[in-house]
Structure 1
């Protein structure tokens, strides 16, 4: 990073004023004064002082909500050439954003992206038990007995046991069933495997909420910045 940018990101001065500070001999790097405005520094290893006071850049975190459509993956690149979420997020490029958890290729709905690793850890680690709510459509009619099994916690065909889930029937017909399920673990393909454990195939899966943060009316395939209130709420989940 250029030293003038480093000083600006520390909130000490604008880049132009930082250049003047450097020319005036007020800046030192690793204990040595510098007058080179275009000097590159290693942000991890070099120490920068202005007027004898060490400075560090203020980390500017970004938080966005994305309504992921089905038919794209959550990684940056795909060996099979499939579309990724980043194909929809050009306006947020260069911010180092990564997805908080995943939604698989055939799933859609609420996906958070950030460059705040600490918050991402809170939202994804099972120990925090952050509830995530999904709308699900399965083939065929689900029985009350199968719903009870899911509510009580169920063991999948691969031997993995899933914690009890909240499950509500929204529409049940012989051809299909629509349900709302809330889980707190977030294991890989958890919702699909839960229903597979009772012999049901998921044909539609949409995440609607993370905690109380809801997707709302955000158009599929678009994103927006989180509000200060929403960010504060998500951070409170780790307390």
Structure 2
């Protein structure tokens, strides 16, 4: 965006804008590990806020040579902070390094599957209005 105040508020944890990620980990991920994420994980720069975590699926085969032959579990994780590499660090802290990570939602915006990686599109005026409303602008 070219709106500096909107960009600042969207990124600042005070405004609680949710970001949802789909993550692939070598699993299966245990209940205790999921509860750790839901309660907050201690990282070197302090504890994270509790995350929302849900299982999407598990797969018996990998999608690349690094994960070939291992059980992959797919989870969706929603946070409202935005620390540097936060999702990767959270999963590493509970013993499940990520195989793959995709952001699928930012605030009220859901990633369009038809949008190629690295591409972008202009937001509609309605979408901008929703985002501004979420951060009280």
Shorter-chain TM range is 0.7 to 0.9
- Deviation per residue, 1:64-114 (Å, 9 max, x gap): xxxxxxxxxxxxxxxxxxxxxxxxxxxxxxxxxxxxxxxxxxxxxxxxxx2
Counterpart pick for 2:124 among 218, 227, 234: 227
Counterpart pick for 1:166 among 52, 72, 76: 52
The aligned residue for residue 181 of structure 1 is 77
1:197 CA displacement: 1.1
Moved over 6 A (4+): none
- State whether structure 2 residue 107 is matched by structure 1 residue 211: yes
- Deviation per residue, 1:134-179 (Å, 9 max, x gap): 00001232101100110111112x2521000000011235622110
Structure 2 spans left out of the alignment, 5+ residues: 60-69
Structure 2 CA distance, aligned partners of 1:199 and 1:213?
31
The aligned residue for residue 117 of structure 1 is 4
- State whether structure 2 residue 36 is matched by structure 1 residue 140: no
Structure 1 spans left out of the alignment, 5+ residues: 1-113
TM-score normalised according to structure 1 size: 0.50
Structure with bigger RCO (C-alpha 8 Å, 6+ apart) = 2
RMSD after superposition: 1.3
TM-score normalised according to structure 2 size: 0.85
SS class of match (2:95): coil
Higher alpha-carbon Rg: 1
- Deviation per residue, 1:182-222 (Å, 9 max, x gap): 00011111101110111111111100111121112322232
